Amino acid sequence: MSEAVRIGIVSVSDRASSGVYEDKGLPALQDWLSRALRNPIHFEPRLIPDERALIAQTLRELVDEARCDLVLSTGGTGPALRDVTPEATLDVADREMPGFGEQMRQISLRFVPTAILSRQVAVIRGKSLIINLPGQPKAIAETLEGLKSSDGETLVPGIFAAVPYCIDLIGGPYLETVEAVLKAFRPKSAQRPAT
């Protein structure tokens, strides 16, 4: 039996949080994670406006009180004045994990030249990994899953391939992926038999 995992999902949007339009970030995150992971998942969803102090407070609460092993945010990572998700994420960080942001921009650059305007970061707080993702559902799936050829061969690895081993290293539960969606990478010494 796979270990249970607690995942915080945060959609950062002034307009969606005030009801101007329907939030698409939380459903996109929940759908992708439910398809990609074999573990039982307890989601902690939050829909909040682009307010730096509130974003930081929400991330702290998800890690310190709700005990989430992984927190994924969507939205608020561009250069607009109200885009402050990366700053709020760095406010709560014990350590930065710059490779995640670098890889997300590499994936997105395959589609749009404006990917270089994206400022997503990833950090560790305690025993939790926090990652900022893009705001659009299509881009969320692309950055998590990576890019595949028409015959299913991986062209560019998605960032989620590295997430399970990162969570192993910081003391979290053993995440098992559905290989048809995404194959997690672990060194042989860190692999367990599939459940």
In the block, residue with structure tokens 């710059």: 98
Q: Per-residue confidence at 151, pLDDT binned at 50, 70, 90?
A: confident
Cα–Cα distance for residue pair 110/104, rounded to 1 Å: 10
pLDDT at residue 152 in the model: 77
- Among candidates 131, 176, 182, 181, which has minimal Cα distance to 190? 176
User: Tokens for 64?
Assistant: 């310190």
pLDDT of 176 strictly over 90: yes
Residue 60: helix, strand or coil by DSSP?
helix
Neighbouring-strand partners of residue 85: none
Neighbouring-strand partners of residue 125: 128
pLDDT tens-digit map of 23-71: 999 999 999 999 999 999 999 999 999 999 999 999 999 999 999 999 9
pLDDT at residue 194 in the model: 75
On whether the CB atoms of residues 70 and 129 are closer than 8 A, the answer is: yes
Q: Give percent of the chain above pLDDT 90.
A: 82
Count of domains forming the chain? 1
pLDDT at residue 147 in the model: 86
pLDDT, mean of residues 94-105: 96
Supply the pTM of this predicted model.
0.96
Domain extent, residue 144, equals 5-190
Q: Residue 13 is part of a domain; what is its CATH number?
A: 3.40.980.10
Instruction: Report residue 3: phi and psi, to 5°.
Output: -70, 145
Question: Looking at the domain assignment, is residue 195 inside a domain?
Answer: no
